[in-house]
Amino acid sequence: MRRHRRKRNVLFDTVDGHLVRIVVGRNGCCRRHRCESWVYTAVAQALAAIPMQGQGITLAEIVRWEQLPLSQVRVALQFMKAWGVITVRRRRCYPAMTNSFEEAMTLLEAFCATEFKRA
**In terms of C-beta density within 10 A (0-12 exposed, 13-18 middle, 19 or more buried), how is residue 26 classed?**
exposed
Task: Convert the pLDDT of each residue in 14-70 to its tens digit.
Answer: 888 889 999 998 888 899 999 999 999 999 999 999 888 888 999 999 999 999 999
In a domain, 5, yes or no: no
37-48 and 59-66 helices cross at what angle (nearest 10)? 110
| Residues forming beta bridges with residue 89, ordered by sequence position | 92
In a domain, 27, yes or no: no
Q: Please tell me the predicted confidence (pLDDT) of residue 113.
A: 81
Task: Convert the pLDDT of each residue in 61-85 to its tens digit.
Answer: 999 999 999 999 999 999 999 999 9
In a domain, 119, yes or no: no
Q: Among 45, 50, 49, 11, which Cα is nearest to 31's?
A: 11
In a domain, 6, yes or no: no
Residue 71 sits in a domain of what CATH number? 1.10.10.10
Q: Among 27, 22, 64, which Cα is nearest to 43's?
A: 64
| Structural domain total, the chain | 1
In a domain, 17, yes or no: no
Q: Please tell me the predicted confidence (pLDDT) of residue 4.
A: 55
pLDDT at 119 over 70: no
Give the residue-averaged pLDDT of 84-101.
92
**pLDDT band at residue 1 using 50, 70 and 90 as cut-offs:** low
Q: Please tell me the predicted confidence (pLDDT) of residue 116.
A: 53
Residues spanned by the domain of 58: 37-113
In a domain, 92, yes or no: yes
In a domain, 8, yes or no: no
Q: Please tell me the predicted confidence (pLDDT) of residue 118.
A: 56
First to last CA, the chain: 26
In a domain, 3, yes or no: no
